[in-house]
Amino acid sequence: MADTNSECMEKEFNVYRSISTHRPLRISDRKIDLVRMLAVRGSFVLNSLQKNGTTTLMINYAALREGAYIDCSEFSRENYLLQLENEIERDSKHIVLLDEIMSLYHFINDDDKSLDYLTQLSQRKQLIIRIHREKSSTAQRITRLKDNGFEIVEIGKIPYDEFMAIFQREFAVSGFNVPERFIKYAHSQFSQLDKQVNYVAEAFRLMVGNPSKEFTEREVEERTKHLMHGGTYRCESAKY
């Protein structure tokens, strides 16, 4: 009996870990947004919240279009543009996706020079860049990029059907489940995919740990606050 209980607890933990660290690095959950991106033939800007599934979306797009995905935050301040150019030329692909583009603006520290560089690069490559809408300077930068020929693609809240599909896949394999009311609550209350997923993961953890207790949606929200740090969920896994 002890072995059976241990196996069950391990299975429950593995399901919780699978949900809470849900990071599909190659195949995006955002099917509709991916189709929208694939339909654009020129250079464009992805205007998205942080931790909203956009990195995976870019990696998925790069694989389908044989583009070069580059994380701009990986380069150091010294000779920043030279490092970036070397990486772009090393891949020698026509389509280039630049994630964490705010790093470029930060290290160059000159909006005019940053805009000139991106505009010139878009004349050589089909350029897809990601910008975080939370930043106070984002709106003006997006307007200027649009004026320089970039199309703007908004990445908002994931559609409910696509969000629900994440957990249908997770629970179909394990045999566990979470009442849909918790999934609906997560989707309605949070804008970022990362926060939505963390809420459902916590609902699952509470349910399997207290099977005789009937939790409310607000109770689960209160219990997830320990996951929050400075207004955002702490996440030890890969950038999403």
Render pLDDT for 42-100 as a digit per residue (tens, 0 to 9).
999 999 998 899 999 999 999 999 999 999 999 988 899 999 999 999 888 999 999 99
Residue 218 domain-assigned (yes or no): yes
Residue-wise DSSP of 111-167? HHHHHHHHHHHHHHSEEEEEEETTSTTHHHHHHHHHHTT-EEEEE-SPPHHHHHHHH
8 and 59 share one domain: no
143 and 199 share one domain: no
Task: Name which of 130, 133, 128, 129 is nearest 49 in CA terms.
Answer: 133
Domain count, the chain: 2
Q: pLDDT digit string (tens) for 116-158?
A: 999 999 999 999 999 987 766 788 999 999 999 999 999 999 9
The CATH number assigned to the domain holding 120 equals 3.40.50.300
Q: Confidence class of residue 227 from pLDDT cuts 50, 70 and 90?
A: low
Mean pLDDT, the chain, as a whole number?
Answer: 86
Residue 115 domain-assigned (yes or no): yes
User: What are the CA-CA distances from residue 115 to residues 13, 129, 145 (Å)?
Assistant: 47, 12, 7
Domain of residue 189: give its range: 2-19+158-233
66 and 149 share one domain: yes
Residue 26 domain-assigned (yes or no): no
224 and 168 share one domain: yes
The arithmetic mean of pLDDT across residues 207-215, rounded, is 88
What's the token pair of residue 60? 């998925």
What's the token pair of residue 56? 């995976």
Is the confidence at residue 175, as pLDDT, over 80? Answer: no
The arithmetic mean of pLDDT across residues 178-201, rounded, is 93
- Tokens 């030279």: give the residue: 82
pLDDT at 9: 67
Per-residue DSSP letter, 191: S
Residue 240 domain-assigned (yes or no): no
Contact 65, 38 (CB under 8 A): yes
